[in-house]
Amino acid sequence: MRDGFGREITYLRMSVTELCNLRCRYCMPAEGVCKRRHEEMLTQEEMLRAVGVAATLGMHKLRITGGEPLVKKNILAICEGAAMTPGIEEICLTTNGALLPRLAKPLKAAGVNRLNISLDTLDADRYAWMTRVGSLDDALKGIEAALEAGFARVKINAVLIGGFNDDEIRPLARLSERWPVDVRFIELMPMAEVAAFGPEAFIPCGRVVEALPELEPIAESDGVARLYRLPGGQGSIGLISPLSAHFCGRCNRLRLTADGRVKPCLHSPREYPLKGLDAEGMRRQFLAACTAKPERHPLLSYESRSGANRSMNRIGG
Ligand code: SAM
Ligand code: SF4
C-alpha cells in the first residue's frame, strides 16, 4: 500500500489501552485519564481483525503500545493472536518495563519478537519525579527480565529533556556497554502535556554527539534513527530527531488508537474510525488514512506545537 507521496506503508503501531501505571509529566495528566466506557474502545476481536486487515494491505510489522500495554489484562492473548495473523512478520512492544519481571517470558512465548523499554534517567529521585509514581528499580529489573527472557536487540528509549537528563547522556549511552541493548535518544515533542515545559527543555539530539565525541557512526540505519556506537559498546546509540531533522520522507507507518481511530500522522488531528466495522469497512478506513497521509507535519518547536488532538498516552507513542 503506497500513499500519495509514493511511501510504502508497512508498519502499524497499535495502542491497546490509554491507561498506564505511570504518569510521566510529558505524556499524561497527573490525575491519569478517565476510564472510558468499554463500548468506546476496541475489543480484542476488533484489534485482531484490524491487524489482519492491515497485514493484507502490506503492513507486516506491528508495534503494540499504549498507554502501558502491559496493564491490559488480555495483553498476552492479543500478542498471541497478532503473532498468528498471516502476513505479520514482526511484533515489537513498547513498555515502561515495570511489569516485565512477571511478563517478559510469557510475552516471548506469545510471539513478541522485540521490546523497547522507556528509561529517561538513571537517577532514582528524578525517575520518581518524572513518572510521578514510578520506581527506577522496577524499570531496571524490567530490562534485566527482558534480557533473561531471551529478547535480542532490546531498545532503551530515552526522551532527551533539557534541564532534566541532558547531564546523563553518557551514563544512559553506557547502558549499551553494560548490556547488549540499543539506546535511542528521542527529542521531546511539544504534545499537549508538554505545555508546562519551558523552551530550555527542547534540545536537539546533536547534543548527544557533542557529549560523546568518541561516537562512531554506523552506516546501517533502522529507518528513523541516525546510528552510532560507543567504542566497545555491545549495542548501538540512535538519535531520533522529530524536531531538528524530521523523517517524514521515510515515514512508513499508520497508527491505530485504543478507541479505534486510524491516524495518518502523529501530529495531525485527522482520524479514521473503525470501531464496529467488519473487515471490509476497516480496509476502506485504512486505505482512506493512507491516502490522507500528509507529505510532512509542520515543523515542531517550543512555539509550534503538535497538531495532535490527544496526549501521547491516548495516541500510542
Ligand atoms: N507506556 C509505554 C512506554 O512508556 O514505553 C508505551 C507508551 S509511551 C506513550 C511510548 C513512548 O512515547 C515512550 O518512550 C515515551 O517516552 C514517549 N513519549 C511520550 N510523550 C512524549 C513526548 N512528548 N515527546 C517524545 N516522546 C514521548
Ligand atoms: Fe505511561 Fe508510557 Fe506515557 Fe509514561 S510515557 S505515562 S509510561 S504511557
Q: What is the pLDDT of residues 84-130, one digit of tens each?
A: 999 999 999 999 999 999 999 999 999 999 999 999 999 999 999 99
Identify whether 237 is part of a domain: no
Mean predicted lDDT score pLDDT of the chain: 93
Identify whether 121 is part of a domain: yes
Atom 2 of ligand 1: nearest residue by CA position: 95
Distances in whole angstroms, Cα of residue 241 to Cα of each of 187, 198, 203, 205: 5, 19, 10, 6
> Tell me, what CATH number does 109's domain have?
3.20.20.70
Identify whether 42 is part of a domain: yes
Alpha carbon of 242 to ligand 2 centroid (Å): 18
Identify whether 192 is part of a domain: no
> Are 18 and 67 a contacting pair, CB within 8 Å?
yes
Identify whether 193 is part of a domain: no
pLDDT tens string 178-189: 999 999 999 999
Identify whether 119 is part of a domain: yes
Identify whether 204 is part of a domain: no
Reported pTM:
0.96
Alpha carbon of 117 to ligand 1 centroid (Å): 10
> Are 260 and 14 a contacting pair, CB within 8 Å?
no
User: What domain range includes position 307?
Assistant: 11-154+248-314
Atom number, ligand 1, closest to the C-alpha of residue 189:
24
CA distance 43 to 73: 12
Identify whether 131 is part of a domain: yes
Q: Is 186 in the pocket of ligand 1 (CB under 6 A)?
A: yes
Atom number, ligand 2, closest to the C-alpha of residue 94:
2
CA distance 237 to 16: 28
Alpha carbon of 14 to ligand 1 centroid (Å): 14
Domain count for the chain: 1
pLDDT tens string 25-43: 999 988 887 778 889 999 9
